[in-house]
Amino acid sequence: MAPVLEKQLPGAADNNNEEEEGQDLWTAILSEVSTTSSSKLPSGKNILLFGEDGSGKTALIAKLQGADHNKRGRGLEYMYLNVHDEDRDDLTRCNVWILDGDLYHKGLLKFAVSAQSLPDSLAVFVADMSRPWTIMESLKKWAGVLRDHVDKLKISPEDMREMEQKMVKAFQEYTEPEDAGPTSPLRRAPTAGEDEAVVLPLGDNTLTHNLGIPVLIVCTKCDAVSTLEKEHDYRDEHFDFIQSHIRQFCLQYGAGLIYTSVKEEKNMDLLYKYIVHKMYEFQFTTAALVVEKDAVFIPSGWDNEKKIGILHENLSTVRPDDSFEDFITKPPVRKLVHEKEINAEDEQVFLMKQQSLLSKQPATPTRGATESPGRTASGSPRPAGRAGQPSTTSSSPMAAVKKPDPNMKAGAANEGVLANFFNSLLSKKTGAPGSPGNVAAGAGVQGSAKKTEPGFD
């Protein structure tokens, strides 16, 4: 029996094709939704912030938060950054740990980063541009603190080597923004066999201190550049020398570099975009900025020895390999002379002190007692009989005048003669009515007269 062939209608094949295309469309939509839901922003990312006291660490993060935060923490301070992905409409929180500028608190790092959270961390070293003579010493100190902490973590050599290789690959795969793909402007578009591609060798001084995590150097208070020029006579040569040494340090750690100013809000938005790009692989389209000396930006992977050598062409009074501390010296401290404030003590306290001082001094004879009896306190002649006693001076003026001493000087002799002469005149007048001596004598005469009156009767 011959097989029965089904007779298909002319439009049946077209309907089947449409159904298959519809199923493929729904499959693509569901796959996209599933991929989007599984590619949410990761949580648990950490930023480790290091720097000296007063370098502006807390103010920097507060500005990125959009908040006014003037309080300074102590020990280990915790803050966070809100990260929003507009494309996925997703929101997450990035942890920020700020270590105190005192090395005494470095042991607190164990609460901020562990062996499990280290791969999801970004190290940020803050350098204070208002005190450029402290920059290199500070960077080396805090990099050493983080290096010691990483060495103490129980990370297997295989895992640590994998983290270091990841940093090397990210450094070497940097491309200029205009050459990058649409998905990640700072990374080359993936090509077939890229994972098997041989990594080109690095420079002699590049990534020699690989920490296994991304590193970013943030120079704060770059608005102080004008102050350094006016008050400390800094020139372009000084700033080029500072920048060259910082960039050499960045090469050793594979770090990026950015100059910021919270006061003038300089490069703050750029800093936020670069941080979320390094931690969450957000799109980033800003190229390196090296023209303005107070707004430098160098992404990790862009720099090399030849580009740094361009700065050396502007150095005339110093060599590139000279010691940083010998050329960028700390200015002498100017001692400010403040006028001492004088506080007046209470009036009664002052008088009591004077009274106690006077009571301790020995009693001194009065001036009148030490002078001649014939003179008053002012030195003028006075009558000798004013004291209430009868005068015994001779009534003859010439008798009272003493002969001058031939040995006495002429001026002193004349003064003594005149004084004796006037004293004799005053003594003579003591017998006149109204004088004390006359009153006493009159009283005696009256008494004797009264006693003789009964005899006449």
Arithmetic mean of pLDDT, 402-422 = 61
Report the pLDDT value the prediction gives residue 332, as an integer from 0 to 100.
83
| Contact criterion met (CB below 8 Å) for 426 and 384 | yes
Under the banding of pLDDT at 50, 70 and 90, the label for residue 234 is very high
| Contact criterion met (CB below 8 Å) for 271 and 173 | no
Residue with the bigger pLDDT between 370 and 105: it is 105
Query: Phi, psi (5° rounding) for residue 223?
Result: -70, -10
| Contact criterion met (CB below 8 Å) for 178 and 186 | no
Arithmetic mean of pLDDT, 274-284 = 91
Tokens encoding 12: 């049946």
Residue 63 pLDDT exceeds 80: yes
Residues 259 and 296: their CA atoms lie apart, in Å, by 5
**pLDDT per residue as tens digits for the range 67-87:** 776 677 788 999 999 998 887
Under the banding of pLDDT at 50, 70 and 90, the label for residue 38 is low
The candidate with the shortest Cα–Cα distance to 143, out of 276, 10, 297, 250, is 250
Q: Is 360 exposed, middle or buried (0-12, 13-18, 19+ CB in 10 A)?
A: exposed
Under the banding of pLDDT at 50, 70 and 90, the label for residue 176 is confident
Least confident of 121-135, 210-224, 435-449: 435-449
Instruction: Output the CA–CA distances (angstroms, integers) from residue 325 to 96, 132, 251, in the order listed.
Output: 32, 10, 20
Highest mean pLDDT among 60-69, 180-189, 308-317, 392-401: 308-317
Least confident of 63-77, 230-244, 423-437: 423-437
Residue 37 pLDDT exceeds 60: no
**pLDDT per residue as tens digits for the range 280-321:** 988 899 999 999 999 999 999 999 999 999 999 988 899 988
Q: Is 94 exposed, middle or buried (0-12, 13-18, 19+ CB in 10 A)?
A: buried
Arithmetic mean of pLDDT, 146-153 = 94
Least confident of 198-207, 247-256, 282-291, 309-318: 198-207
Under the banding of pLDDT at 50, 70 and 90, the label for residue 394 is very low
The candidate with the shortest Cα–Cα distance to 255, out of 298, 203, 313, 224, is 298
Residue with the bigger pLDDT between 166 and 411: it is 166
| Average pLDDT over all residues of the chain | 77
**pLDDT per residue as tens digits for the range 332-383:** 876 655 667 778 888 888 888 888 888 887 766 555 444 444 444 444 445 4
Residue 272 pLDDT exceeds 50: yes
Sign of CA dihedral 201, 204, 207, 209: positive
Under the banding of pLDDT at 50, 70 and 90, the label for residue 225 is very high
The candidate with the shortest Cα–Cα distance to 107, out of 99, 119, 117, is 99
